[in-house]
């Protein structure tokens, strides 16, 4: 009885504390739902990436592809700058699967760049031959290094722009609703 009473007082005198408990209880479950288990990003960016998924169906679909692909590990880092680019993804395919290290420059359009780089990972899940495609007219694949070790694709560029547009539109709608 005494416990119940104390609990009731806590509720009514500290509504914010109660709200914080509810939020912290819910966020791990949401994180599990939104971010694939093999998608590694610093905890400080969890909310940011989850919010992207909340605002963009295209980004949700991208995360689902990562989550359901066997043996794919993604490391996302948001860094002060990336030498010679706005972002880059290094990928390595080994016998135990595909590992991708994504670096995105913090002061650029981070939403667009994350989605863009994630699409490069999905291209590899789909088995796209970048080196082969770069030589073909109309493939949407371009070699961007003289040594032929770096590529750009129209598909990744499109994914980045689409997600950025969806996030901007959804945020605008939220602003009007509330
Ligand atoms: Zn790219």
In angstroms and rounded to an integer, the radius of gyration of the C-alpha atoms of the chain is 20
pLDDT, the chain, mean: 82
Q: Say what the pLDDT of residue 77 is.
A: 95
Q: For residue 121, what are its two tokens?
A: 């990972």
Please write down the long-range contacts of 157-160, taking CB distance under 8 Å and 24 or more positions apart.
Answer: 157/116, 159/58, 159/62, 159/115, 159/116, 159/118, 159/119, 160/112, 160/113, 160/115, 160/116, 160/119
120 Cα: distance to centroid of ligand 1 (angstroms):
7
Q: How far is the CA of 117 from the centre of ligand 1 (A)?
A: 6
Q: Tell me what pLDDT residue 175 has.
A: 84
In this structure, of 17-21, 90-94, 124-128, 132-136, the range with the lowest mean pLDDT score is 17-21
Averaged pLDDT for residues 25-34: 44
Assigned token pair, 119: 């699409």
Q: For residue 35, which phi and psi values (nearest 5 degrees)?
A: -105, 125
Q: Report domain extents, the chain.
A: 1-33, 35-177
Q: How far away, in angstroms, is 130 Cα from ligand 1 center?
A: 11
Going by the DSSP 8-state scheme, the letter that residue 45 receives in this structure is G
C-alpha of residue 160 to centroid of ligand 1, in Å:
9
Lookup result for tokens 């994180």 = 31
pLDDT band at 41 (very low <50, low <70, confident <90, very high): very high
Kindly give the distance from the C-alpha atom of residue 88 to the centroid of ligand 1, in angstroms, as a whole number: 7
Residue 62's pLDDT band (cuts 50, 70, 90): very high
Looking at per-residue confidence, does 39 or 27 come out higher? 39
* Cβ pair 151, 130 in contact under 8 A: yes
* Ligand 1 center–CA 68 separation, angstroms: 22
Stronger pLDDT, 4 or 94, i.e. the higher one: 94
Q: What is the mean pLDDT of residues 99-112?
A: 93
* Predicted confidence band of residue 141 (pLDDT cuts 50, 70, 90): very high
Ligand 1 mean position, distance from CA 87 (Å):
8
Categorize the per-residue pLDDT at 144 as very low, low, confident or very high, splitting at 50, 70 and 90.
confident
Query: Has residue 98 got a pLDDT over 50?
Result: yes
Residue 4: pLDDT above 60? Answer: no
**Tens digits of residue pLDDT in 14-28:** 444 444 434 443 444
């Amino acid at each position: 009885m005494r416990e119940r009473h104390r609990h009731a007082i806590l509720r009514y005198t500290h509504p914010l504390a109660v709200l914080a408990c509810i939020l912290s209880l819910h966020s791990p479950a949401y994180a599990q739902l939104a971010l694939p288990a093999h998608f590694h990003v610093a905890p400080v960016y969890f909310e940011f990436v989850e919010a992207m998924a909340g605002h963009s169906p295209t980004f949700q679909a991208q995360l689902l592809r990562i989550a359901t692909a066997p043996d794919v590990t993604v490391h996302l880092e948001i860094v002060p700058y990336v030498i010679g680019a706005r972002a880059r993804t290094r990928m390595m395919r080994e016998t135990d699967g595909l590992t991708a290290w994504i670096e995105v420059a913090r002061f650029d359009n981070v939403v667009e760049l994350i989605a863009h780089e994630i699409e490069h990972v999905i291209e590899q899940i789909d088995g796209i031959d970048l080196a082969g495609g770069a030589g073909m007219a109309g493939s949407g694949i371009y070699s961007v290094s003289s040594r032929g070790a770096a590529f750009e694709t129209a598909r990744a560029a499109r994914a980045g722009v689409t997600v950025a547009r969806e996030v901007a539109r959804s945020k605008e709608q939220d602003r009007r609703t509330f």
